[in-house]
Structure 1
């Protein structure tokens, strides 16, 4: 049978993938290497609330130009709502309005923030004069003691703020601080204490940027004003550290509410974010417009779905690695593509935490599965029991890790439980039929394959290429088809010919 059609298909896939990738690079100026030029954060805010069958007014804070970031473009999706953008001394805000609304409502706001190291925070107006802070007893005595203690160890407003925050949390937290924290939350309490001492301070909200994150919330920070320098400084209320982290985007920097909804209940706002790199010229010109073919790609989806596809598009890389190791190298694995799913879990847990968690779950699961074999259960019932066992093991390990303060251990929940259950079942049957040696061979092959797939999938260059150049998927398909056509010896099988080689050398 002629193999010409097969090679024609492979050739067409390869050429189409290369052509699509080159077209994306040339037309849209998307760099081949991540971080090659300029970095842009795409952030989407999703506002949810329940309207009360009447007029609704929604007011939400918006990010502005600030140190390290510059607003590139912004868009909203709010069918049926009126929209206005406002700006004042406290920052920028969006105001949605509608005459009549009922039931669950969703409003979208998306913004592109250009990472700009040269961008500076605009001059902020000095704060208004402080008003007297009134405390109820016995909180007044506790507040005065805390303020006096921090004031004696400080030299200016910034050092006073630092010492005060250190006294409110961590090892230096005393009885007075614990008393006040029973009545107030930490961040509003620190602001109140600073104002009580005559130091202008306010609570601001920021978004910690991390690629591919979904359903994130804002974190609270504190700005302190120093009259001698006439400028604001940002502090982490938990650690007392001064300065703005590079990955912190101040969403609301005027001390106002982030979201206010009139005519609705249960209002909340969540954020999804992802980053991509593009040339500085393309970032400034916003070359990607609504009438381009890019809107027919994954980039036209909401950011939450884009972040999901960023991981899904890595699966073909793992599949190619599995095919290569099984077909050419000759690795044996427990399950054909189980290593790819384990590699995906490693991306969420980090490699070392994932390896330890995987080995612990499988080891304990094999012990319990060995007991179940004595009950002579049917296959479906036995596998179901193993699934429940895996869930119980993961739950127990997560609780133990939390109690011991090992937060990394909580990520073990990212492991695919059904796959783990089938892995334990297969290894148990293999142990009974082939012995422990075959279990070690297949189990070890699965782990090595999963680790290599993880290293390939988690590479920043690979993540950038697979997400921004969809033509790469056609190239991967062509390579997998070529590997699937291979019928020769595997590398690990060559050891069978070692005796013949030794005889030829001796003769």
Structure 2
């Protein structure tokens, strides 16, 4: 007797792989488990204004990049007559506009779209190997800096708490050392110098506070401190560290926000709005932006995606058919004919599909009964039935259009070859088993098709099958397990009813 252990091991592996693929897709691509969720996309526009001096102009703006919590999905520029290019260096990205000659007021627009993406994690370059350049202070300010560092060092346990204590001291209006240091320095500059003097890796970054509908916002400077694994953002005006939920880091290099050659009186203002997008659109944008090695349906063109959206539902229909036939014992005409009929119902809508199915099969059985009297060969008889089905569909479609039933036009979605074989099988069954068996199998096929249709049109099932390819492996494992069932069907238990009554 062959052992079934390898079989059950294979089934368990299919289930585990399917679950792992689904979790990986959720974690990596941000695909939600339910269809009702949406994703936020921020449209941020930088408006650059300056006066050109009648000579070649070169404007270079610090450009943002994908960062923790945000994925850059697109960037565009609007600048009449200017050439534009995006330049990446070791420290930052910049958008550069150039023109041979320009005079008078100039306006350049740069727009970036960011997807709010909790899965976006950028590996930061470890600055521990870099040597910190110690800042210089004048005599009195150096003594004040040392006093502030010593006080913060006593009240802290690590670099992050040390930074918080420094910020508290800088915001203490009664602290004379802080007042002396802030006499010629801003809080951002003072904190950066104090951290460097204490030999703590830090940097100044330009950030934008995200607020829907905000206009003419200017960039703000904040401090980042290296905690050994990542950069932590601090606002020197507040003592707590900043989360990335509403803060977007625009300029990480702090070299300059805008470099301008050939112009004067430059200004940069930011405007922003937020919009909600579907999970599918968010996934497509993320895949294209990150260039991820994506083997999902989302990597295909939209036309093929639309086709696979229906195809990926067929395994669910197959699972339902196997359950109804193996466990329930429901009789159907053909094994998976109800699944194909249900696919047609998806296109025609349920009521129109049922009426069309009954009309086509009923009329086809009448024509098939006449063909049986001619004693034709099987191939010729099937071919004649196929032509008859095509004519029936054509006639019903024209009649529906003439009487104004536009729903009847969708009857052409029925699989003609499958219907022809169904008519042939039912006709033979009528001759061999009688009308009762035809009604049982025909009614079972129609009931199964309706149940499969209800499953296929469920928004949760549509979402899961289209977005999580691993679900197909779980369905396959379920079908394999059902295939090992050899017990009684539920419909067969009625034979034991007299025993139960006794």
* TM-score normalised over the length of structure 1: 0.52
Alpha carbons 1:339, 1:447 under 8 Å: kept:
yes
Aligned to 1:467: 466
Whole-Å separation in 1 of the counterparts to 2:425 and 2:363: 15
CA displacement, residues 460-503 of structure 1 (integer Å, 9 cap, x when unaligned): 11011001000000000000000001111100000011011111
Deviation for aligned residue 1:445? 0.5
Whole-Å separation in 1 of the counterparts to 2:453 and 2:402: 29
Alpha carbons 1:383, 1:425 under 8 Å: kept:
yes
Residues 285 and 307 (structure 1), Cα distance of their counterparts in 2 relative to 1, 3 Å cut? closer
Deviation for aligned residue 1:4? 0.2
Mapped pair 1:299 → 2:298? yes
Alpha carbons 2:31, 2:283 under 8 Å: kept:
no
Alpha carbons 1:39, 1:277 under 8 Å: kept:
no
Alpha carbons 2:283, 2:298 under 8 Å: kept:
no
In the TM superposition, 1:24-423 aligns within 5 A as 24-38=25-39, 276-277=278-279, 286=286, 289-294=289-294, 296-423=295-422
Whole-Å separation in 1 of the counterparts to 2:292 and 2:284: 17
Say which SS state the counterpart of residue 279 (structure 2) adopts.
strand
CA displacement, residues 234-291 of structure 1 (integer Å, 9 cap, x when unaligned): xxxxxxxxxxxxxxxxxxxxxxxxxxxxxxxxxxxxxxxxx95269xx6798465353
CA displacement, residues 283-307 of structure 1 (integer Å, 9 cap, x when unaligned): 798465353132x322111110111
Alpha carbons 1:29, 1:278 under 8 Å: kept:
no
Whole-Å separation in 1 of the counterparts to 2:343 and 2:284: 35
Which runs of 5 or more residues in structure 1 are unaligned? 41-71, 76-83, 89-111, 121-274
Deviation for aligned residue 1:36? 1.4
Say which SS state the counterpart of residue 321 (structure 1) adopts.
helix
Aligned to 1:246: none
Say which SS state the counterpart of residue 426 (structure 1) adopts.
helix
Residues 473 and 284 (structure 1), Cα distance of their counterparts in 2 relative to 1, 3 Å cut? closer
Larger radius of gyration: 2
CA displacement, residues 373-397 of structure 1 (integer Å, 9 cap, x when unaligned): 1111101000100000000000000
CA displacement, residues 388-414 of structure 1 (integer Å, 9 cap, x when unaligned): 000000000000111111110000000
Whole-Å separation in 1 of the counterparts to 2:470 and 2:4: 24
Deviation for aligned residue 1:35? 2.0
Alpha carbons 1:354, 1:412 under 8 Å: kept:
yes
Residues 491 and 39 (structure 1), Cα distance of their counterparts in 2 relative to 1, 3 Å cut? farther
CA displacement, residues 407-447 of structure 1 (integer Å, 9 cap, x when unaligned): 10000000000000000010001000000000000000000
Mapped pair 1:439 → 2:438? yes
Aligned to 1:99: none
Whole-Å separation in 1 of the counterparts to 2:432 and 2:40: 55
Residues 392 and 277 (structure 1), Cα distance of their counterparts in 2 relative to 1, 3 Å cut? same
Whole-Å separation in 1 of the counterparts to 2:371 and 2:362: 15
Say which SS state the counterpart of residue 487 (structure 2) adopts.
coil
Whole-Å separation in 2 of the counterparts to 1:315 and 1:445: 18
Whole-Å separation in 1 of the counterparts to 2:443 and 2:15: 33
Deviation for aligned residue 1:38? 3.2
Whole-Å separation in 2 of the counterparts to 1:362 and 1:39: 50
Aligned to 2:198: none
Aligned to 2:239: none
Alpha carbons 1:37, 1:278 under 8 Å: kept:
no
Alpha carbons 1:345, 1:414 under 8 Å: kept:
yes
Alpha carbons 1:24, 1:469 under 8 Å: kept:
yes
CA displacement, residues 159-212 of structure 1 (integer Å, 9 cap, x when unaligned): xxxxxxxxxxxxxxxxxxxxxxxxxxxxxxxxxxxxxxxxxxxxxxxxxxxxxx
Alpha carbons 2:38, 2:279 under 8 Å: kept:
yes
Residues 292 and 362 (structure 1), Cα distance of their counterparts in 2 relative to 1, 3 Å cut? same
Alpha carbons 1:38, 1:283 under 8 Å: kept:
no
Say which SS state the counterpart of residue 289 (structure 1) adopts.
helix
Whole-Å separation in 1 of the counterparts to 2:409 and 2:74: 36
Whole-Å separation in 2 of the counterparts to 1:38 and 1:410: 37
Deviation for aligned residue 1:87? 8.8
Aligned to 2:231: none
Equivalenced residue count is 282
Deviation for aligned residue 1:457? 1.2
Aligned to 1:16: 17
Alpha carbons 2:284, 2:298 under 8 Å: kept:
no
Which runs of 5 or more residues in structure 2 are unaligned? 42-71, 81-112, 116-210, 214-276
Residues 363 and 313 (structure 1), Cα distance of their counterparts in 2 relative to 1, 3 Å cut? same
Residues 113 and 338 (structure 1), Cα distance of their counterparts in 2 relative to 1, 3 Å cut? farther
